[in-house]
Structure 1
């Protein structure tokens, strides 16, 4: 029996803050998340030992069984991770990954091209951020390894294309979800003249963080702007240390797997292509079924709005795995190698699964404590109207950082932003909504308990905290640029002025970073 004595109060910030700080300081993610979970549980149960044990047990069971039925979202997503691990391992054992790296070396001339190709793939595969991070990581990793690009750099390339691309793409799970949220908000406030899709498209240039995060990533890939901890990771990679081996194998990594000598590039591209198209099909199909059940006409955007992402990922991966298995059997690969690859692939995903389970648990605890609502309430004070876009950006960032979820932040903060715009200046409705979207992606990028960040680490086979620490300076640079842009936008009520401010600061930042990098060279 929970009492929720500290819900929606400043103390509700304690569990995520403690977990995040401990993870950064100790670099022991599971221990830090566990302490954060226990702290949240005792706050929820008002320090009752019996109630704490009961509540914690309910939370753990709820990861797999919720409201009298299987928690399909979690089960499907965990199944997707295991299947993808097995696909990746079989591709490695078949020699296809090595064949691709050998072929790419004749086409991709240097590290810069390898990074640009990874970024390009991340921009092309935009249907979902989980899918983006894991699949692009599987394709790009043999190539980036060949050119001694650190796993931390690969994780940054994955993470900084996944969410920024998805949040500005209408045909994605993110875009459909945001359009649905914004559509409901605008309708509730009487804005029925503009179509919801057209409103979303109008907001794209207002999402300063997503746009300039992508531009900074392009500059980092093209110009080699390695700063902060990332510089040391890249220097280590040049010596052959792609990740810190002292910390053991990172999530998703396979070591000492045998590789066949007769591998073909087709063995990599065909399974991944099947996986992409099968997942897209299931996303459209499940969304179409949901529309039909509601008696609504089928549209692609409507299908993405109603799709079942987790089941689509799982069934897409199942078909991708079947195609991979068929290829290695046709190749005549030793059956003991195949079995070894499947077992190693599944086991390689266990560290990521453990972190996800702990992250989901602390997210449930934080939800019970209503941490997000408390963060949102900070925006309802007597704040000058001109500062509202900037304030909403910061609060959305802090909320996503504390809760580890962009989508949850969207759900909490977007209605508040709309209400504040209606109470002050309706012409600033869209910029204020866009600032929430931008802030949520920023906070998500920085948070060690974000599932997208966790899966980007997994896709890159990178130690999770190493990814968080190395990506943080880049995220903060773009956040400062975005904050200045939203401040100017608020005072001038001009998108052009705000965007111009961001552009000028961005150019200055890149020049300064390039000068610093050249001095250290």
Structure 2
């Protein structure tokens, strides 16, 4: 009741000013290349807007209803616990010698820089259950290999980030699918999700762009500078804890498989798959109705126990060494946890200021005109909202109910395309936002400076986003997923070929002028 009164009394509530704290944080992060202070300044500005100069109200907005509330939120606590367990699992895999054994295997089987990047992409696609799990696992497994082939941490972070959310949003068995289906009231949520997959152009074209970038050996924007520097320096030799030589590739594979298995099992458990009587749900329904936060906590903890038993049974590690990985995993995740807490706090103040209401009003007010262009416009709104707030799931919750209400009785086909545009725009905005938790996790997984990751990833993401926008214009006009996707693929690959051929020509011209 107290927070509602603050919202009602604020002159900034439900206006463009509600987005200003996030925009300031983003601009500061890009200018200063420092995430912690930028996010905190955004939170402070949001607190000033909420309190309108009242000192006690300012303190409540920033700390009581901001940081403390976000850290004590059960969902967020579960995510933080999950991160600590993931960090612990990574420490276990390193200490057991499994990561070193995989590195040795990679030296024999991965022969080139292209091969190392392709394996990273394929591994990211295979780990589709959850984007957090994807980011940290792929990063820890592939970092020694990409270091060997002089691939910059910025490039690794992009490969990780581009196979995290974009894969999860087109995988029916994922925590993201569960979230999306929960936002579709009065409709078959999972059925609509399945029908929307072919129209999810940003996710699909991002995967196409990944393979094209690697196979064509194209880099542009700030990424090219970091890749050039990585090429000029000697290969990094990342030492892994190998206090025993008993570790095998299986000691790396088992924890990953255990994480996937137990996370899926725990997600369907929270959704009622193992319940009896009327409470019992089928696998698909249980996954759609799962509690991702609780499920990931249970799954990661079970995987930790199973991994410890596995290592003890194989006499790879002693129990004391296994338990030492708990504080090591926590320490490894501290930077990511700090950024997440600040990002959640910033999201909290923008929610209090009514950023969602402002964007919802814009969308609903224009839903009756330009019908064929609505998917493209919704895509842009989704990108902007997710970018400014740093949350794709929150964007789903805002836009999808509006789209269902606006189009379900008018044009069901356009509703499916527009729902997909909501998801694609949310993933794109989340992908390029410095305050997105997935972006933070990708930076942590690759051990890359967070702002460097944002700067190098931005041109690639915007390139695919612009082509996705064109695809949504075609889809809104033709209602054809196949035609729209085909045009998008041609534009993605053709544009990269043009960039590749244009660069040598420009270098040649410069040499002529200098001589």
Q: TM-score if structure 1 supplies the norm length?
A: 0.88
* Residues in 1 aligned to 2:392 and 2:177: alpha-carbon distance in whole angstroms: 12
Are residue 26 (structure 1) and residue 32 (structure 2) matched? yes
Equivalent position SS for 2:183: helix
How far 1:291 sits from its partner (Å)?
A: 6.7
Q: Is the 8 A contact 2:223 2:456 kept in 1?
A: yes
Query: Which range is displaced more, 361-370 or 268-277?
Result: 268-277
* Residues in 1 aligned to 2:257 and 2:316: alpha-carbon distance in whole angstroms: 22
Q: What's the RMSD between the two structures over aligned residues?
A: 2.7
Q: Partner residue of 1:267? A: 251
Query: Which range is displaced more, 442-451 or 368-377?
Result: 368-377
Q: Partner residue of 2:220? A: 227
For residues 54-77 of structure 1, the C-alpha deviation after alignment (integer angstroms, 9 at most, x for no partner) is 222212221343xxxxx3322222
Seen in structure 2, the aligned counterparts of structure 1 residues 380 and 298 have a Cα distance that, compared at 3 Å, is closer
Q: Spell out the pairing of 1:6-25 with structure 2 (5 A cutoff).
A: 6-25=12-31
* Residues in 2 aligned to 1:242 and 1:374: alpha-carbon distance in whole angstroms: 50
For residues 190-220 of structure 1, the C-alpha deviation after alignment (integer angstroms, 9 at most, x for no partner) is xxxxx55443322211111111011001112
Are residue 36 (structure 1) and residue 19 (structure 2) matched? no
Q: Partner residue of 1:247? A: none
Q: Partner residue of 2:120? A: 118
Q: Spell out the pairing of 1:93-112 with structure 2 (5 A cutoff).
A: 93-112=95-114
For residues 108-162 of structure 1, the C-alpha deviation after alignment (integer angstroms, 9 at most, x for no partner) is 1112111111111111121111222222222222222222222211211111111
Equivalent position SS for 2:11: coil
Q: Partner residue of 1:213? A: 206
Q: Partner residue of 2:287? A: 304
Q: Partner residue of 2:424? A: 438
Query: Which range is displaced more, 496-505 or 349-358?
Result: 496-505
How far 1:44 sits from its partner (Å)?
A: 1.0
**2:407 aligned to which of 411, 416, 421:** 421
**2:335 aligned to which of 348, 351, 372:** 351
Q: Is the 8 A contact 1:176 1:301 kept in 2?
A: no
Are residue 319 (structure 1) and residue 302 (structure 2) matched? yes
Seen in structure 2, the aligned counterparts of structure 1 residues 297 and 346 have a Cα distance that, compared at 3 Å, is closer
Equivalent position SS for 1:474: helix
* Residues in 2 aligned to 1:332 and 1:196: alpha-carbon distance in whole angstroms: 46
Q: Partner residue of 2:511? A: none
For residues 392-441 of structure 1, the C-alpha deviation after alignment (integer angstroms, 9 at most, x for no partner) is 11011101111111111111111222333358645422112221111111
**2:94 aligned to which of 64, 89, 92:** 92
How far 1:488 sits from its partner (Å)?
A: 2.5
Equivalent position SS for 1:349: helix
**1:373 aligned to which of 350, 354, 357:** 357
Q: Partner residue of 2:513? A: none
Equivalent position SS for 1:21: helix
* Residues in 2 aligned to 1:292 and 1:137: alpha-carbon distance in whole angstroms: 40
How far 1:345 sits from its partner (Å)?
A: 3.2
Q: Spell out the pairing of 1:145-160 with structure 2 (5 A cutoff).
A: 145-160=147-162
* Residues in 1 aligned to 2:242 and 2:78: alpha-carbon distance in whole angstroms: 30
Are residue 472 (structure 1) and residue 458 (structure 2) matched? yes
Q: Spell out the pairing of 1:222-261 with structure 2 (5 A cutoff).
A: 222-240=215-233, 258-261=241-244
* Residues in 2 aligned to 1:424 and 1:411: alpha-carbon distance in whole angstroms: 21
* Residues in 2 aligned to 1:275 and 1:406: alpha-carbon distance in whole angstroms: 24
* Residues in 2 aligned to 1:433 and 1:416: alpha-carbon distance in whole angstroms: 10
Seen in structure 2, the aligned counterparts of structure 1 residues 336 and 496 have a Cα distance that, compared at 3 Å, is closer
Equivalent position SS for 1:288: coil
Equivalent position SS for 1:227: coil
* Residues in 2 aligned to 1:239 and 1:341: alpha-carbon distance in whole angstroms: 35
Q: Is the 8 A contact 2:216 2:497 kept in 1?
A: no
* Residues in 2 aligned to 1:332 and 1:447: alpha-carbon distance in whole angstroms: 41
Q: Is the 8 A contact 2:181 2:190 kept in 1?
A: yes
**2:498 aligned to which of 482, 499, 512:** 512
* Residues in 2 aligned to 1:241 and 1:361: alpha-carbon distance in whole angstroms: 41
Seen in structure 2, the aligned counterparts of structure 1 residues 258 and 437 have a Cα distance that, compared at 3 Å, is closer
* Residues in 1 aligned to 2:67 and 2:333: alpha-carbon distance in whole angstroms: 20
Q: Partner residue of 2:512? A: none
Equivalent position SS for 1:148: coil
Q: Partner residue of 2:268? A: 284
Q: Is the 8 A contact 2:86 2:133 kept in 1?
A: no
Q: Is the 8 A contact 1:372 1:403 kept in 2?
A: no
How far 1:259 sits from its partner (Å)?
A: 2.9
* Residues in 1 aligned to 2:338 and 2:476: alpha-carbon distance in whole angstroms: 43
Q: Is the 8 A contact 1:404 1:448 kept in 2?
A: yes
How far 1:334 sits from its partner (Å)?
A: 7.9
* Residues in 2 aligned to 1:400 and 1:310: alpha-carbon distance in whole angstroms: 20
Seen in structure 2, the aligned counterparts of structure 1 residues 146 and 312 have a Cα distance that, compared at 3 Å, is farther
Q: Partner residue of 1:248? A: none
